Chains A and B, each alone.
Chain A
Amino acid sequence: MPPTRILLVMPEHWPRALLRAELIERGYDVVGAPDLATALLARPKEKGRGPVRAILIDQDALVEPQSNLLDLLVSRYRNPRLVLLPRTQLKTPLGAWDKIVPRPALIGQIANAVAETLSGVQEQKDTPRH
């Protein structure tokens, strides 16, 4: 069975690359994107790859009008788990966040948060979320 896929939407290249490497080490299939429009190009169904079960979004990627694409991203991957990496000085954006990881956070802590949201997700995939 192919590993679960995770999308990382983070404008900054290095933190994204480090987090991606950390999650790959843990056995996930990880796709990185600098913005929401680019993230949408990951196909929901790809031969040999698992479904996208979690998306981590840096608040810096939620600038208007790109933030209008969040609902499209969520519906495209059939309600994946959502993890927000907020900016401390900004108001937390509205969204059905499963987890919010406050900054400052280490790469390992962010990876832990993503992994936690995925625990038991296989069993819950057909259960409607509230």
Chain B
Amino acid sequence: MAQLEHGAATHIGRRPNNEDAYCAWPELRLYAVADGIGGYEGGEIASKIALDTLAEFIGHGCHDMDSRRSADATERLARSEELLVKGTRLAHEHIVARQVGELEMMGSTLAAVLVPDAAAIVCNVGDSRVYLLRDGQLKQLTRDHTLWTEILARGVELPKEQRAIYANELTRALGIDGSAEPEITRVPIRSGDQFLLCTDGLYESLSEEQIINGLQTRPAQEACDQLVHQAYEQGAVDNMTALIVRVVYE
């Protein structure tokens, strides 16, 4: 089984509070970032609910899977994917259940990577991203669930100056009824692969080249600190979070 090394960092940016959150559970081989929305303290609460619910659900599921060791790799992968989907849906339900009063508008994005065996399962809802750096090439594995992306996908071109307006409008997020379905991608892993999970505050402030350069830093924790620091130095206003998962060897 592949060995995984990870690092993570978050920064408040120039906002009054940090609504981003991340989690890394090496024992579950689960890594995730979430970006809360909703004002007041709603965003912070929503992103925390999202990650806590997901981890708890997958923790139970993995324990259950471990107790039935007969499952082969393909079955384990399918089961892990199912856990990720169901855990995400449950996180959505838990957020909706808490949408009362000042928390009425809260919600959260979610980008998660689960690495059960020789493949990583990537899951996202919203505009937090997962990138893969392999052989020096950076590839975005997730699709942003924003109006900007959806409109471009339909062949409609909007003026570049309107990008910020449309890119800030999520078409999917946990806590938005009917729009919380996760998008799942499977990626076979190789030694040397690096997954970067990040919120929009980070990738909006850094160029692709800067992200690639940042990912060359060792260890992973230092790379995360550097990426977040660089984004802040370049004027990032939004909260920003970086979580790196490295496949050390197989």
Contact = CB atoms under 8 A, between A and B. Distances in A.
Interface of A: 37, 40-41, 43-45, 47, 65-66, 68-69, 72, 76, 78
A76 B166 CA distance: 14
B165 A41 contact: yes
Interface in B83-111: 104-105
Given A40-B147, A76-B171, A45 B176 contact: yes
Given A45-B105, A47-B104, A78 B178 contact: yes
A128 B123 CA distance: 28
Interface stretch (B12-20, B57-65, B152-160, B233-241): B152-160
Contacts of B193: none
A76 B150 CA distance: 11
Most B C-beta atoms less than 10 A away, residue of A37, A43, A47, A68? A37
A66 B176 CA distance: 25
A37 B158 contact: yes
Contacts of B178: 78
Sort chain B's interface into a size bin: 10 to 19
Interface in B167-188: 169, 171, 176-179
User: Considering the complex of A and B, which 6 residue pairs feature the smallest CB-CB distances, nearest first?
Assistant: A68-B154, A65-B155, A65-B156, A78-B178, A40-B147, A72-B150
Contact of A69 (B104, B105, B156): B156
Nearest to B107: A45
A69 B178 CA distance: 18
Contacts of B166: 37, 40-41
B169 A69 contact: no
B71 interface: no
A72 B145 CA distance: 12
Given A45-B105, A45-B176, A40 B154 contact: no
Contacts of A66: 156
Nearest to B168: A41
Given A47-B105, A65-B155, A69-B154, 11 more contacts: A37-B158, A45-B176, A47-B104, A65-B154, A65-B156, A66-B156, A68-B154, A69-B151, A69-B156, A72-B171, A78-B177
A69 B147 CA distance: 10
B42 to A, nearest CB: 11
Nearest to B165: A41
Given A45-B105, A76-B171, A40 B176 contact: no
B38 to A, nearest CB: 9
A45 B176 CA distance: 8
A110 B48 CA distance: 47
B48 to A, nearest CB: 21
24 contacts: A37-B151, A37-B156, A37-B158, A37-B166, A40-B147, A40-B169, A41-B165, A44-B176, A44-B179, A45-B176, A47-B105, A65-B154, A65-B155, A65-B156, A66-B156, A68-B154, A68-B155, A68-B156, A72-B150, A72-B154, A76-B171, A76-B179, A78-B177, A78-B178
Contacts of A37: 151, 156, 158, 166
A68 B158 CA distance: 13
Among B156, B166, B177, find the residue whose CB has the most chain A CB atoms closer than 10 A. Answer: B156
A66 B158 CA distance: 10
Contacts of B104: 47
